[in-house]
Chains A and B, each alone.
Chain A
Amino acid sequence: MNTTRRKEAISNSNLLFAIAAAIFVLMYGFAILCYPRSFLQYQTFFDLFNLNAPLIILTLGLSIVMIGGGIDISVGAVTGLVTMCCAVYLESGTGSVGGSMLLALGIGVAFGVLQGFLIAYLEIQPFIITLSGMFLANGLLTTIHKDPLNVTLPEFVLLRDFELVVPWLGTTNRLGNFIPLAIKPGTVVALALIALLAVLMRWSRFGRNLYAVGGNSQSALMLGINVKRTKFGSYALCGLLSGVAGFVYIMTTGAGNVGNASGFEMKAIAGSIIGGTMLSGGVGNLIGSPIGALTLLTINELIRAAGVNSNFQSIVSGLLLCVFIVLQSVVLWLRGARGFRLALPAWLAPSGERG
């Protein structure tokens, strides 16, 4: 019918994603303008991933939970716990890399399943449950081992130092030597997860059900969606991703430490929000969220490059967060207002009874 010809209004999810992407591009462009030497290098870009793969992975997990209308603030603490458990296990003399991977995933899933069960099936407020999860993981972490623990298992050290080398994307350093681009395995994991989860949320039944649940869980129930199972799944998946993030973390730093990944939950939430995920649920994009996280990281890099007092780093982060949040809200508001005015012709036109 005539309906297909009409230009489609962009959905909220996509609009916020577009804003996020534009802001990231602008931000990175700005960085290039200010510090062309470092930001023009591919290595700098990939270092954002290399150094922050765990955070990006957590952002993914958190976005999934947030799309389902929930929140998980235990992710940072769980990641920290995983790194320490892996370190202790690897150093125990009986550990193997494969075993530690399983351990990491196991711990993550255990937390996810427990929290998911309590939130979805016992209908307890997610904030409180994951807050206790955060305390629990933190308490266990300090109970298991208090001091920093370097992993010296040769197998693991090999993995830690392993780098994918991309020779055709390199940079020349100050001495004129050509250094090929190095990519850490964590980056590969993060990128693979972004692709996988984006597909999952876009095309799988679970993903679509989760959007429905986040949009209006009561309606979702009436539409025949198993709301509890879907919610449960989102927390379990988020827990799993915390486990993965924990392993990637220790794979990058090679040490278990009490302070590992502390505060990541808030950074991940901030990243998701800048990336266009809304805490109220139902709106978000799994590609947007890591872009949001990258935006924050770029800002930090910029400030570091500018060499200002490190206290300004968090102040500027906060300020920019503020700008983004207000911008998003204003855009959605303007759009809401415009949508309302447009609603009249859209409502009348298709009935085809003009004049």
Chain B
Amino acid sequence: MRGICKSFPGVRALRDVGFTLRAGEVHALMGENGAGKSTLIKVMTGVYEKDSGRIEIDGQAIHFKSPQDAQAFGVGTVYQEITLCPNLSVAENMFIGRGRYAFVDWKRMREKAARLLDSLGIPARPTQQLSSCSLAIQQMIAIARAIDMDCKILILDEPTSSLDEDEVRKLFSLMRELKSRGVGIVFVTHFLDQVYEISDRITVLRNGEFIGEYEAAELPQFELVSKMMGKALDDVSSMRKREPSAADGETPVFEATGLSSAAGVRPFDFAIRKGEVNGFTGLLGSGRSESVRAIYAADKVTGGRVRFKGKEASIGDPIHAMRLGIGYLPEDRKGDGIIADLSVRDNIILALQVLNGFWKPFSRKQAEAFADEYIRSLNIKTASSATPIKSLSGGNQQKAILARWLLTHPEYLILDEPTRGIDVGTKVEIQKLVLKLAEEGVSVTFISSEIDEMIRTCSRLIVMRDRSIVGELTGDDLTENVVMRVIAGGSESI
């Protein structure tokens, strides 16, 4: 691909970007949020048409008008968001849109699907309706589909963000096998170690511009990060965790006993003190998200008692939690967080507005002042506060949601995966913000899939497995090794 340009109303998403993919290599595409990776990929796969530039496959100029076109030329894609049809069966999802025949041979399709699922070790049945599979399995099915297409080029856009370690390893061994068959793989991820584990070469984008193409072996990690961010990364280790002090030892800000929810969390006890940063950790599906959702009553609470600042409280609905001064940044940014068509401003003021009450809307001026303040202080990149939030990049959307809760001046803030799918720079910013909040006396519960991130920020870690709490780690136990061991359930085997 050479000289690709693409612009959207108001934004120039790509400017003169190009890169080459060789047969039989894994090529990582790196960049911060909003660098233009997703746009570039959508141009490659025919979802968007390019404004200018040329795409060549095997030296032949090609112009994709639609995803079918791209598929026909052997470009298979797995997108960051799952792009399968929830109402169809697993087998159909793997084969639809590919057949050349006018009629469907159900039996053969199911057999083929079963074989494929088996060989990849995906625990799903071909006849199962897709919507009954978990997100991780859906992602694996999407990958299986792409693999089965005998493509020359496979594009994986953040395929690992919803997979656990085991599944990632499985995926990597698959990628290696495909590589040996001569398939060129484009790999997008935010996990730096994954990049170095699997990639041969790396292309870096920044702000829609091409920064460079490097051999992975010749580009040290810190240099890659600085290339992505365009500035030397300030040392992460300079962050100082706030150790709990004696003054915090009074009654906890929030305390729950025997809390359980309709989402299937076993009853658990939990407490957090003023200015404390703690975290829930565990594998995907261990119940860490469900636990914090239970605290916030995001799922129906089925039992347990809650005390806020020592006083008995009942939280039956998110609004009750909000009134107490609890804020919750949900894991699923797109589904639970942003309100896509509304402006950045409306998204930021939403929670405070709701707390203010139905009969007391802010004036436009007030709302603008609130929004502008946080757009500036959190450095949210947006054309204006009236831009629909959906046109922002993921990291900036996340910051806007964060701004929404900061605006309410919460006493207790729950952040579920605030750093997922966003670039390194923003990740560090958010971690720093968490620590700053704690300094100011806000209690924070922080969840992240990246354990080092958790260890850096949290002073107490609650470890979950199989939907119940299996351990609590503080102080010197907070090392990657120990945490991993508890997560893996090896406490007896020490």
- In the complex they form, whether A and B have CB atoms below 8 Å apart is answered with yes
The residue that B129 contacts in the complex, of A1, A12, A344, with Cβ under 8 A, is A12
B90-127 toward A: CB 8 Å interface, digit per residue (1/0)? 00110011110111101000000010011000011101
The residue that A216 contacts in the complex, of B86, B127, B137, with Cβ under 8 A, is B86
CB–CB A225/B96 < 8 A: yes
Q: Decide yes or no whether A4 CB sits under 8 A from chain B.
A: yes
CB–CB B87/A283 < 8 A: yes
CB–CB B71/A224 < 8 A: yes
The chain A residue sitting closest to B97, CB to CB, is A224
In the complex, chain A residues 309-355 whose Cβ is within 8 Å of any chain B Cβ: 339-341, 343-344, 346-348, 350-351
Bound-complex Cα distance A208 to B102 (A): 10
Which residues of A sit under 8 angstroms from B419, Cβ to Cβ? none
Which residues of B sit under 8 angstroms from A339, Cβ to Cβ? 132
Distance (Å) between the CB of A14 and the closest chain B CB? 10
CB–CB B134/A223 < 8 A: no
In the complex, chain A residues 1-41 whose Cβ is within 8 Å of any chain B Cβ: 1, 3-4, 6, 8-9, 11-13
CB–CB A219/B85 < 8 A: yes
Q: Decide yes or no whether B88 CB sits under 8 A from chain A.
A: yes
A215-B86, A223-B96 known; A8+B125 contact, CB < 8 A:
yes
CB–CB B134/A212 < 8 A: no
Distance (Å) between the CB of A285 and the closest chain B CB? 12
CB–CB A223/B85 < 8 A: yes
Assign chain B's interface to a size class: 35 or more
A205-220 toward B: CB 8 Å interface, digit per residue (1/0)? 1101101101110111
Q: Decide yes or no whether A226 CB sits under 8 A from chain B.
A: yes
Distance (Å) between the CB of A347 and the closest chain B CB? 5
Which residues of A sit under 8 angstroms from B104, Cβ to Cβ? 203-205, 208
Q: Decide yes or no whether A221 CB sits under 8 A from chain B.
A: yes
Give the secondary structure class of A's interface.
helix
Most buried by A among B106, B132, B145: B132
Distance (Å) between the CB of B427 and the closest chain A CB? 28
Q: Decide yes or no whether A222 CB sits under 8 A from chain B.
A: yes
CB–CB A205/B102 < 8 A: yes
The chain B residue sitting closest to A339, CB to CB, is B132
CB–CB B134/A205 < 8 A: no
Q: Decide yes or no whether A282 CB sits under 8 A from chain B.
A: yes
Q: Decide yes or no whether B67 CB sits under 8 A from chain A.
A: yes
The residue that A343 contacts in the complex, of B98, B99, B134, with Cβ under 8 A, is B134
CB–CB A222/B86 < 8 A: no
Q: Decide yes or no whether B77 CB sits under 8 A from chain A.
A: yes
CB–CB B67/A222 < 8 A: yes
A167-210 toward B: CB 8 Å interface, digit per residue (1/0)? 00000000000000000000000000000000000011110110
Bound-complex Cα distance A216 to B96 (A): 13
Bound-complex Cα distance A6 to B128 (A): 10
In the complex, chain B residues 432-484 whose Cβ is within 8 Å of any chain A Cβ: 466-467
Q: Decide yes or no whether B212 CB sits under 8 A from chain A.
A: no
Most buried by A among B70, B86, B129: B129
CB–CB B96/A212 < 8 A: yes
Most buried by B among A4, A215, A221, A223: A223
A224-B97, A225-B97 known; A12+B123 contact, CB < 8 A:
no
A343-B134, A344-B264 known; A4+B114 contact, CB < 8 A:
yes
Which residues of B sit under 8 angstroms from A222, Cβ to Cβ? 45, 47, 67, 77, 79, 83
CB–CB B97/A203 < 8 A: no
CB–CB B129/A9 < 8 A: yes
Given A203-B104, A222-B45, 5 other A-B contacts at CB below 8 A? A208-B96, A219-B82, A224-B97, A283-B87, A340-B262
The 26 listed contacts between A and B (C-beta, < 8 Å) are A3-B114, A4-B114, A8-B127, A11-B87, A12-B129, A204-B102, A205-B101, A208-B96, A211-B85, A211-B87, A212-B85, A212-B87, A212-B92, A220-B85, A221-B47, A222-B77, A223-B84, A223-B97, A224-B67, A226-B68, A282-B87, A283-B87, A340-B263, A343-B134, A346-B132, A347-B134
Report the 8 A-B pairs with minimum CB-CB distance, sorted nearest first: A350-B123, A215-B87, A224-B97, A222-B83, A282-B87, A215-B85, A223-B97, A219-B83
